[in-house]
Chains A and B, each alone.
Chain A
């Protein structure tokens, strides 16, 4: 009997409403029905579904993806290359960077460069956010490939969103050790996962033992502080922790929330909202 997941019409909002289990207990044939899905489709939804597809296909399960019926949602879904077996022939300006797997050392450099070029040269309404986007992808993907090292690699996707405000949304994920466990190698006293993530984003805090590391998250936020930015929001889910950092008018507002459930690896969404 098939395992069937029906994604709701608003299932992609925020990227987290539907569960895509990475479980060895699932049957050999899986169906994800996205036919009712409508815009917006958050890049984190795209990354999560793509990881689900790749993870199960690597284990020789058949994964069938039913694309959205609504034309605009279908076009973006296709352009984001969520299912690598589908013909990715449709273009959509909002699909800045289709879901991309990073497994070579220079992949982060390549996607950061390509994304900045697309934003600055092809998308004038969000072009002032090009440098901040470059810095976020460069630093966060570098972290994912270094600290989140795992045989499955890391994934990144970037979208432009035009309503209700102009913004660039980035999703970066890996199935590695996760931030809390990584940082506890150095700081075992940070036992609560949410607070461990919060501390890990502070400047000069690093799990590497190198006193000059630990600048990545600070650099990402610093780069966002431009006159073109209305606000920025970074959500980090890892293990049993959920940390949110908002930047509004140069003020940083960190918040730790209880995680709804354990999440393997690290899942970061970063929204840069234009004035």
Chain B
């Protein structure tokens, strides 16, 4: 069973690098031992590129490099959010599976 990290608990809009760093630290604190982390964007209306890069793309990069021992999947992105998240991943040459 993946660990589901519900982003909407932190707001329907997500922005800025400092906030992303805060959430990344929160996620890492809550997920020791889990093999799959599902980033659930259900209910999130907007996210900034800086947030997506600092939160999602950095997590994906750490997972790919083996710096964390879980894999990351994305769930529940609205089209606007999906476009921004995918853009941030592409800029780092990464991609993540989407759960339905």
Binding site for B on A (CB under 8 A): 105-106, 108-109, 112-113, 116, 131, 134-135, 137-139, 141-142, 145-146, 212-213, 215-216, 218-219, 222
Contacts and interface: CB of A to CB of B under 8 A. Distances in A.
Given A113-B15, A139-B49, A139-B50, 20 more contacts: A105-B18, A108-B15, A109-B13, A113-B11, A116-B13, A116-B45, A131-B80, A134-B13, A134-B15, A134-B46, A134-B48, A137-B15, A138-B48, A138-B51, A139-B48, A142-B17, A212-B57, A219-B49, A219-B50, A219-B84
A213 B53 CA distance: 9
B96 to A, nearest CB: 16
Interface string B33-64: 00000000000011011110100010000000
B30 interface: no
Contacts of A109: 11, 13-16, 19
B11 A216 contact: no
Interface residues of B, number: 24
By Cβ-Cβ distance, the 4 closest A-B pairs, closest first, are A138-B15, A219-B49, A138-B48, A105-B18
10 contacts: A112-B15, A113-B13, A131-B46, A134-B15, A135-B46, A139-B15, A142-B48, A142-B50, A212-B53, A222-B87
Nearest to B93: A212
B12 interface: yes
Contacts of B92: 212
B17 A146 contact: yes
Contacts of A145: 18
Contacts of B18: 105-106, 142, 145
Interface in B51-100: 51, 53, 57, 80, 84, 87-88, 91-92
A87 B44 CA distance: 36
Contacts of A106: 16, 18-19, 22
Nearest to A115: B13
A215 B90 CA distance: 12
Contacts of A131: 46, 80
A219 B80 CA distance: 12
